[in-house]
A and B are shown apart, each in its own frame.
Chain A
Amino acid sequence: MMPLTELTVSRHNPLVDPSLHIWGWQIAVYLFLGGLVAGLMIIAGVRLIAIRPSQREALVCCTIGPIVGLTGLSLGMFTLFLDLSHKLHVWRLYTTFQITSPMSWGSWILLLVYPALVANGLAHLPEAIPALARRFPVIVTWSDFILAREWLVVAIGLSNMLVGIALGIYTGILLGTFGARPLWNSAILGPLFLLSGLSIAAATLHGILIIHTPDDERPTFADFLLSSLTKLIEAHPLDPKVGPVLAGADNSFLTIEAALLILFLIGNTTSTSVHQQAASLLLGGPYTAIFWVFVIGMGIVIPLILQSLELANRIRHTLAPSIFVILGGLALRFVLVYAGQQSHWLEALNR
């Protein structure tokens, strides 16, 4: 007969009992947007360095990407602010640097993201959005200043890549360093969230490219709505040749992300009893269905198949894989944020 262990606790603190539920949609959305911005920065940085003056393609990556990134970052910081319970004291984050606190690292990294993204976006902004450049000629001056100096272009590209990698890994490490929550306590969360961010970013850029590409066979209402929004900024030219590059890159990111998820599950299921209990939340527990259907199925497997068919020219490029990847990335953050709070060391008492 199995020994009985029964705990009766008289504590009923809000957000803590009966199980921890301190973080909700705000943190999941913040981590998602952080990953998106990280991916956009890395792709923008790589493209900025790779573009030669005679080869002004892929502006979607190094101009539209930073604009989307700046918007996403601002939204993410706003959702993080919404989560704070002592909001008026938020400025305290920037009066100190706590070397052992991932959140302190993150708050300073977020400040570096703005100038890096602005500089990257400025480099080719006059070509991408001529109307804006005509209205504000100083943009042309800044762009010329950057493009006239090869070392500056390389520095901006490299800084975007490095800050993007730091931001992407930070969004995972933020959860991974909480030893009290066994499901989160894995170093794999850093690279997992980075790769997921890269795949979301590639899918977003791919989606923007598809919306921008004229196609008489479409437009559905959703396409019409989205294309109307992108036309507000009159971005052009977006080279459709970049589409397959982004789809191929996204497939690579998704494959590595799937491998990291498998390693994450192997790590938990072969570890201590509390980690096995934590993994069971995703393997037979309350989060199993949403994890396998939305994160793995919709977010990784279906887009991989669709994008592979697109790359093989069996089907045309559509918005579907982009939307699936974005929703899958969002689902990954929601599942891990909520399930992680339910995993606990109290399981160790069942000894």
Chain B
Amino acid sequence: MSRFAMVIDTRRCVGCNDCVVACKTEHGVPLGYSRDWITEELHGVFPDVRLEIRSERCNHCENPPCVSCCPTGASHIHDRGGVVLVDHEKCIGCKACLAACPYNARFVHPDGYVDKCTFCIHRVENGLDPACVSVCPTHCMHFGDLDDENSEVSRLLASRPYHSLIPEAGTKPCIFYLT
């Protein structure tokens, strides 16, 4: 078994949007749509404030509500690595998965089906990193198998403090942000 995950070092991310451009190029994402994006979170009481810059996308949750609500099985968990994918041929565009996702990570493609990040599974299955990870100029993004304790992502999570997004929603997201 494998459990693919992404670890992003927020101390290194500068919000350059290279990951966003790489994703758009790799997948031909239409103009005006994004599979990944940059979020800047400013938190604290002035002058003691902290800025966290994050590259965000589908969290490929272990307990994905977008999969359980899909009426046709179009949203599904891929055999390899637990990646959450959408079968465009099965999707009817009911948008239930958009309502179910607490991260608003999905969108309706202009062709009618629902689209989202795939963790570049076509690249990963060929031994490559996802496009966004491969182009990051600050090397703040890491991709690997959580079930392998010797993988880079496992070692980073064992050695650094981290958080995930909206863990209260109970979806068990698989993208982690080093702080």
Contact = CB atoms under 8 A, between A and B. Distances in A.
A101 B46 contact: no
Contact of A4 (B33, B42, B99): B42
Interface stretch (A65-73, A90-98, A198-206, A284-292): A90-98
A14 B65 contact: no
A52 interface: no
A22 B41 contact: no
B128 interface: no
Contact of B104 (A10, A20, A84, A100): A20
Given A93-B92, A98-B70, A7 B39 contact: yes
A86 B71 contact: no
Interface in B71-90: 71-74, 89-90
Interface string B88-128: 01111111101111101011100111000000000000000
B107 A349 contact: no
Given A6-B42, A177-B69, A341-B99, A13 B112 contact: no
Contacts of B112: 85-87, 89
Contacts of B166: 345-346, 348-349
A348 to B, nearest CB: 5
Q: Which of B38, B39, B94 has the most CB of A within 10 A?
A: B94
A9 interface: yes
A261 B89 CA distance: 40
Contacts of B69: 100-103, 177-178
A5 interface: yes
B45 to A, nearest CB: 5
A103 B90 CA distance: 15
B94 A12 contact: no
A6 B38 CA distance: 14
Contacts of A179: 65, 100, 102, 169-170
A33 B69 CA distance: 22
B65 A9 contact: no
B102 A345 contact: yes
Contact of B44 (A4, A16, A93): A4
Nearest to A181: B99
B104 A104 contact: no
Contact of A101 (B44, B45, B95, B96): B96
Interface in A1-48: 1-17, 20, 22-23
Interface residues of A, number: 52
B1 interface: no
A345 B30 CA distance: 28
Given A6-B42, A89-B91, A101 B71 contact: yes
A9 B70 CA distance: 27
Contacts of A178: 65, 69, 96, 99-100
A90 B92 contact: yes
Contact of A22 (B33, B72, B90, B98): B98
Interface residues of B, number: 49
Interface string A322-351: 000000000000000000010011101100
A263 interface: no
Interface string A165-188: 000000000000111110000000
A329 B17 CA distance: 47
Contacts of B93: 84-87, 89
Given A4-B43, A84-B92, A100 B68 contact: yes
B40 interface: yes
B104 A92 contact: no
B170 to A, nearest CB: 7
A194 to B, nearest CB: 20
A100 B65 CA distance: 10
Nearest to B107: A13
B100 A5 contact: no
A57 interface: no
Given A98-B70, A345-B169, A13 B34 contact: yes
Contacts of A127: none
Nearest to A341: B99
B86 to A, nearest CB: 11
Q: Which of B40, B90, B95 has the most CB of A within 10 A?
A: B95
5 contacts: A3-B43, A11-B34, A86-B113, A92-B74, A103-B96
Closest 8 CB pairs of A and B: A85-B93, A86-B93, A11-B37, A86-B112, A103-B71, A180-B102, A104-B71, A13-B107
Given A3-B45, A92-B72, A107-B71, 18 more contacts: A9-B38, A10-B17, A10-B34, A11-B104, A13-B32, A13-B104, A22-B99, A83-B94, A86-B111, A89-B90, A90-B92, A92-B90, A92-B91, A103-B96, A178-B65, A178-B69, A178-B96, A178-B100
